[in-house]
A and B are shown apart, each in its own frame.
Chain A
Amino acid sequence: MSFDALNLVWIFVAASVVNNFTLAYFLGLCPFLGVSGRLDTALRLGLATIFVMLVTSMFASALNAWVLPHAPYLRIIAFIVVIASAVQLVETIMKKASPALFRALGIYLPLITTNCAILGLALFQTNREYNFLEGIIYALGAGAGFTIALVLIAGIREENDLGQIPRIMRGAAMSFLIAGILSLAFMGFAGLFSSAA
């Protein structure tokens, strides 16, 4: 495999499991708590988030190339406007292309705008100076990582509902405890990099 392709694979692996956005960077915790109660909703929201991340990453690359070198102070505002528009775009396309999915996602679709994982993606991509292709791969990896974490938690929480949990631990406290244990498990992936380097 050429160096370039290998580099892209590493970016994907790093973003999806090693530096998982939710479990290592604490990004996107709000939807994490909100929709992680049911497996199918979690999966759908994950897929929509991946799509928004892809669109955002492309626009962020374009902004970084042409606009922001002239006006660096506009970075945060430019990114947030791009994200809001990307969510609007996804909403419009989905409404036309797949009305069933659109209805199923409901309120969670517009709420993707305030998912800090998306803004985080645009900012990290800028900080690391990824090019267009690397940005897309990074977005795919980050989105996949977010979806994996969301689906894992949702699965565990569905099982958990059947168990006996002390009253004070019910709800958010239990979700965070599960997230902590998952985060601990995901730290194991860090070994991938030290052994490769």
Chain B
Amino acid sequence: MKRPTDLHDTFRRGLWRDNPVFIALLGLCPALAVTNSAINGVALGAATTFVLLTASTLVSSFRKVIPKQVRITTFIIIIATFVTVADLVLAAMAPAIHAELGAFIPLIVCNCLILGRQEAFAFRKPVKPAVVDAAGMSIGFTVALVMIGGIREILGSGTLFGVIVMPAGFEPWIIMILPPGGFFTIALLLALMAHLKARREARLPRHEDSEPEGAV
């Protein structure tokens, strides 16, 4: 279990193959709500990364002490504590971003990705793999957020990270930065993922994964 290849695999799994947003469909609410620009995606991704890393570390360190019957409540309270920390730190250090994200920082508590990783991984594994898993998952989550945010910002405002990227004659598709644009973007990205998966399976007909895809 401690071999570096396993750790490497754990990390890469969260990054792409079991990507929380595109494959497991976890944490979609924040993934759509704040991603009308790429920078918001980075900010929320960073906050989620902090919460997931700290919560996984703590849960994994105390996994032998936490009674099984009240584990979910314990996870939620641990997560809520770190979300409070993230909320207060962001409010103090980056008030502009904090105002932009609004209620979606507190709502990280309800991100099923974080609770899911505590239950499925951190509660059962030692600290080191738990941290690696948390890192892989949160980077995968952030990448997904930035992808969605980037697409919506380029099409909806003609910019990327605030820099104008589209030609001067480009008429921004306002709809992309409004709520429907979020739904359309994720729908098309999911279709693209399904297409890539189908193509990969067609290329390797006999190959079977050790785990069923989409397993949480």
Contact = CB atoms under 8 A, between A and B. Distances in A.
A180 B183 contact: yes
B152 to A, nearest CB: 12
A76 B109 contact: yes
Given A33-B25, A177-B187, A27 B33 contact: yes
Nearest to B85: A73
Interface string A26-41: 1111100100000000
A116 B28 CA distance: 11
A168 B198 contact: yes
A160 interface: no
Given A29-B29, A76-B87, A77-B84, A119 B109 contact: yes
Given A183-B179, A187-B180, A76 B76 contact: no
B7 interface: no
Interface stretch (B11-19, B124-132, B158-166, B189-197): B189-197
Contacts of B32: 26, 29
26 contacts: A24-B179, A26-B33, A27-B33, A29-B29, A33-B25, A73-B88, A75-B106, A77-B81, A80-B76, A80-B109, A81-B77, A116-B110, A116-B111, A119-B107, A120-B103, A123-B103, A123-B107, A127-B103, A168-B192, A168-B194, A169-B191, A174-B187, A177-B187, A180-B181, A180-B182, A183-B179
- Which of B29, B112, B186 neighbours the largest number of chain A CB atoms within 10 Å of its CB? B29
Nearest to B79: A80
A133 interface: no
B80 A181 contact: no
A180 B77 contact: no
Contacts of A33: 25, 28
Interface of B: 25-26, 28-30, 32-33, 73, 76-77, 80-81, 83-84, 87-88, 102-103, 106-107, 109-112, 115, 175, 178-184, 186-188, 190-192, 194-195, 198
A180 B179 CA distance: 8
Contact of A172 (B25, B76, B103, B182): B25
A181 B180 contact: yes
Interface of A: 23-30, 33, 73-77, 80-81, 84, 113-116, 119-120, 123-124, 127, 166-177, 179-181, 183-184, 187
B19 to A, nearest CB: 13
Nearest to A122: B106
A146 B30 CA distance: 17
Given A30-B28, A77-B81, A172 B110 contact: no
A30 B110 CA distance: 10
A26 B182 contact: yes
Given A76-B80, A77-B77, 19 more contacts: A30-B29, A73-B84, A75-B84, A113-B76, A114-B110, A114-B115, A116-B107, A119-B107, A120-B107, A123-B103, A168-B198, A173-B190, A176-B190, A177-B183, A177-B187, A180-B181, A180-B184, A180-B187, A183-B183
Contacts of B180: 180-181, 183-184, 187
A181 B180 CA distance: 7
Nearest to B28: A29
Contacts of B84: 73-77
Nearest to B87: A76
- Which of A33, A114, A167 neighbours the largest number of chain B CB atoms within 10 Å of its CB? A114
Nearest to B82: A76
A168 B29 contact: no
A167 B183 contact: no
Nearest to A115: B110
Contact of A77 (B80, B179, B182, B190): B80
A25 B33 contact: yes
A6 B26 CA distance: 39
Contacts of B191: 166, 168-169, 173
Contact of B179 (A26, A28, A172, A177): A26
